[in-house]
Amino acid sequence: SNIKIEVVKDKVEGGKFAFDHIKKAMEKNALVFGLATGSTPETLYKELRESELDFSDKIAVNLDEYIGIGSEHPQSYAYFMQEQLFNEKPFKETHIPDGLAPEEAEIERYNTVLENNPIDVQILGIGTNAHIGFNEPGTSFDSTTHKVALTDETIEANKRYFESKDEVPKYAYSMGIASIMAAKKIIIMAFGSNKADAIEKTVNGPVTEEVPASILQKHQDVIMIVDEEAASKL
C-alpha cells in the first residue's frame, strides 16, 4: 500500500517524529490542521507546546466530540484540546463539534466548517477496533459528519477517563471517513500492544468498512508512526 510506516521505540519518540512532519508541512504553508484526541497524540502536543512554532494564523479542525457534554466538562474533547494545546498555542480559529447542539443543525454546521477549511494535515489515532475519529466498524466510507452510537468496545476503552462506565457518553459527533480521506496528508499514530491487531489489519488486511482505518490504503499521502509493540504483528 501507500502507507509509509515509521517504527519508533516509544510514544515519546513517536511524538517527535510527528512533530517533525508538522514542522515540515508548516514550512510548505499548511494552514488547516485536523486534530485528534485520545492519549495517543499527547506526546505530539507536548512537543508542539514546547516548540517555537506559531499557530496564531492557523486553523484547527477537530475530529469528534461526545454528545451530551459541553466544552466545560473535563472529559469533553473541547476541554482536552484547550489543556493539551490551545491554551499554550492559540490558533486563529479552532473548530470542534458542539456536543450540546441539536443533531441536524450541528451536522450541517460542521460539514460547512469542513468544506470551508480543507485540511492540509490530519492527525489520527486508532481505536482497538480500528476506528478513526469515532467512525466505528460498519461506517460507510462515503460518510461525512454524523452522529455515532459508540460500540461497547469503545465505551470500555474510554471509561478509564470517567468515574464509571455509566458516565461515558453513548453517542458522539464525528467527522466521517470521506471527510478524513479529503485531507491532503494524514499522520496516523499508534502505541502499545493493544493496537497491534488494528494496525496489522489496517496495513495488510482487505479494505473493508469493517476495519475503518483500512481505507487509508487508498490515500496518497499517509504516514503511520507506530512503536515496536503496535508494529509487532506487521
| Distance in Å from the first CA to the final CA of the chain | 13
Q: Is 50 noted as a catalytic residue in this protein? A: no
Q: Is 29 noted as a catalytic residue in this protein? A: no
> What is the CB neighbour count within 10 angstroms for residue 152?
9
Return the number of the residue (113 or 172) whose C-beta is nearest ligand GLP: 172
91's grid cell: 490558533
Task: Say which residue the cell 483500512 belongs to.
Answer: 214
Among 43, 62, 154, 214, binds ligand GLP (CB under 6 A): 154
Tell me how far apart the alpha carbons of residues 146 and 153 are, in angstroms, rounded to a whole number. 19
Among 63, 168, 181, 224, binds ligand GLP (CB under 6 A): 63
Q: Check residue 99 for interaction with ligand GLP (CB under 6 A).
A: no
Tell me how far apart the alpha carbons of residues 160 and 148 are, in angstroms, rounded to a whole number. 20
Q: Check residue 34 for interaction with ligand GLP (CB under 6 A).
A: no
> Of the listed pieces 11-19, 32-40, 68-76, 178-186, which binds ligand GLP according to CB under 6 A?
32-40
Sequence-ordered list of residues with C-beta below 8 angstroms from that of 90, at least 6 positions apart, any chain: 55, 56
Q: Check residue 39 for interaction with ligand GLP (CB under 6 A).
A: yes
Tell me how far apart the alpha carbons of residues 110 and 96 are, in angstroms, rounded to a whole number. 8
Q: Which of 47, 64, 65, 120 is catalytic?
A: 64
Which residue number has the CB closest to ligand GLP? Answer: 125
Among 38, 97, 99, 212, binds ligand GLP (CB under 6 A): 38
The bridge status of strand 121-124 relative to strand 32-35 is: parallel
Range list of β-strands (E), the chain: 4-8, 32-35, 59-62, 64-66, 93-95, 121-124, 146-149, 171-174, 185-190, 222-227
CB of 162 to ligand GLP, least distance (A): 12
Q: Is 131 noted as a catalytic residue in this protein? A: yes
Among 19, 37, 95, 198, binds ligand GLP (CB under 6 A): 37
Among 14, 19, 43, 64, binds ligand GLP (CB under 6 A): 64
Q: Is 167 noted as a catalytic residue in this protein? A: no
DSSP, collapsed to helix, strand or coil, labels residue 190 as strand
The bridge status of strand 185-190 relative to strand 222-227 is: parallel
Q: Check residue 14 for interaction with ligand GLP (CB under 6 A).
A: no
Return the number of the residue (30 or 63) whose C-beta is nearest ligand GLP: 63
> Of the listed pieces 82-90, 108-116, 121-129, 214-222, which binds ligand GLP according to CB under 6 A?
121-129
Which residues are catalytic, by number?
A: 64, 129, 131, 136
Residues that bind ligand GLP (CB under 6 A): 36-40, 63-64, 125-127, 133-134, 154, 158
